[in-house]
Structure 1
Amino acid sequence: MFKPDKEDILEIDAGFENLMHIGLVANNIKVGVIGAGKASLIKTKTFLKAGCEVEVLSPRFDKGFRRLRCECLKLKKEKFHKSFLKDKHIVVIGVSNKKLEKRIIWHCKRLNKLYLVCSDYKLGNLRLGAQERTDEFVFSLSIKRGNPKLSKYLTQKTLNFLQSFTIFCNWATNLREKLKHHPQKDQILEFVCSDDFYYFFKKGYANKVIKLFYEDV
């Protein structure tokens, strides 16, 4: 009988706090926001800033929505109807009516939507981490038990650290593109992405060290 190797047996934490961050190609993502209070406004700004297409559905709108100017934003002054969910990849639920909130969650589950509940993050299957981006990096950070202000503070600390690697990141990424069809691509990149090689990079010897080990690069 086949017996799996120990390395193939994964221990899975089934708890909600076992978060997994994914990278969305934002300009291909449609977001539906239901409710137009302050919490929904914050989430709307986050998705718009990333480049998502956002449609907000509500019978009333916080004045902050009226000040938003973005061609990717659509405001629809109506009550909730389940057809609103049809073409949305992600749903933000920001309503104060608990009965309506439960009904929207039920529809989202039935339609296999990714959904975020503003009143209580534990009710949804999606959380937005604090995010930062530069020309070379995009990253997100979340506190497992929930603490947005701390996430934002630590994200800035992380950004300051990562920025010291900006030049190296640009160089290594250009090298990866150059090695696209090289037979030893994976081996070379493994060699480059290490503390030992980064030491020589900072000293200005990156190209010489590469040539020393891989003459045809």
Structure 2
Amino acid sequence: MEEKDFFPLFVNVKNKKILIIGAGKIAYRKTETLLKYGADILVITKEIREEGFKNLKNIDIKIGEFSENLLKNAFMVICATDNKELNEKIYKICDEKNILVNNITSKTDMNCRFGSIINNEEYTLGISAKGNPKKAKELREKLEKIL
């Protein structure tokens, strides 16, 4: 597995088209986060596995399968299925098209990574532990106490 270095970056996703493939627990968490920042979200899934999706407002959910035409005008794609091969396939397509893509089943088959976020009146901090979300969360919780 090739190790990748990720450049830390804060990006405005307000009104940007974001495609989320899958509707499980992790997809739900990422959807909630992106909604806080005003993203325009389309979720495509074979089935809704996380009940919380039914309570989210301002997202489109379509029952179906991924197809490349869904990438038209996409700013970012979240591969959040439990099918590692499908996620890898989508990653490769998106990367070739210069679309930001996050893949929940790999630490390397992606070109963007979500950090653990602290957002208060004075600071917005993004924490990455090189693909280890548990370590990032632990540090976030320590820093939240300090701030």
Aligned equivalent of 1:208 = none
Q: In structure 2, the residue corresponding to 1:123 is in which secondary structure?
A: coil
Shift of 1:15: 4.6
Rounded Cα–Cα distance in structure 2 between residues aligned with 1:138 and 1:97? 33
What is the aligned partner in structure 1 of residue 54 from structure 2? 67
Deviates more, 1:127-136 or 1:101-110: 101-110
Q: Distance in 1 between matches of 2:123 and 2:32?
A: 20
Question: Which whole-Å deviations, capped at 9, do the CAs of 1:42-96 have from their partners, x for residues lacking one?
Answer: 221221223222110112111424433222x111112111111112111001223
Aligned residues: 146
The reply to whether residue 150 of structure 1 matches residue 135 of structure 2 is yes
- CA deviation profile, 1:17-56 (whole Å, cap 9, x unmatched): x222211123143211011222212221221223222110
**CA distance in 2 between partners of 1:100 and 1:19 (Å):** 23
Q: Following TM superposition, by how much is the alpha carbon of 1:97 offset from its aligned partner in structure 2, in angstroms?
A: 3.1
What RMSD in Å do the two structures reach over aligned CA positions? 2.0
1:114 shift after superposition: 0.9
Could you give the per-residue CA deviations for residues 150-178 of structure 1, whole angstroms, max 9, x where no partner exists? 211211322333x3xxxxxxxxxxxxxxx
Q: TM-score, normalised by structure 1?
A: 0.61
The partner residue of 2:31 within 28, 41, 44 is 44
Q: Give the corresponding residue for 2:101.
A: 115
Tell me which amino acid in the other structure corresponds to 1:83.
Answer: N
Q: Which has the higher strand share?
A: 2
Structure 1 or 2, whichever has the larger Rg, is: 1
Q: 2:75 aligns with which of 65, 75, 89?
A: 89
Q: Distance in 2 between matches of 1:153 and 1:51?
A: 26
Say if 2:88 is the partner of 1:129: no
1:185-196 equivalence runs, <5 A: none
Secondary structure (helix, strand or coil) at the match of 1:27 reads: coil
Q: 1:19 to 1:36 in 2, by over 3 A?
A: same
Q: Which structure carries more relative contact order (alpha carbon 8 Å, separation 6+)?
A: 2
Q: 1:79 aligns with which of 39, 45, 65?
A: 65
Higher helix share: 1
CA distance in 2, matches of 1:130, 1:102: 23
CA distance 1:119–1:98, change in 2 (3 Å): closer
Match of 1:100 in 2: 86
The runs of 5 or more residues in structure 2 that have no matched partner are none
Q: Which runs of 5+ in 1 are unaligned?
A: 1-13, 164-217
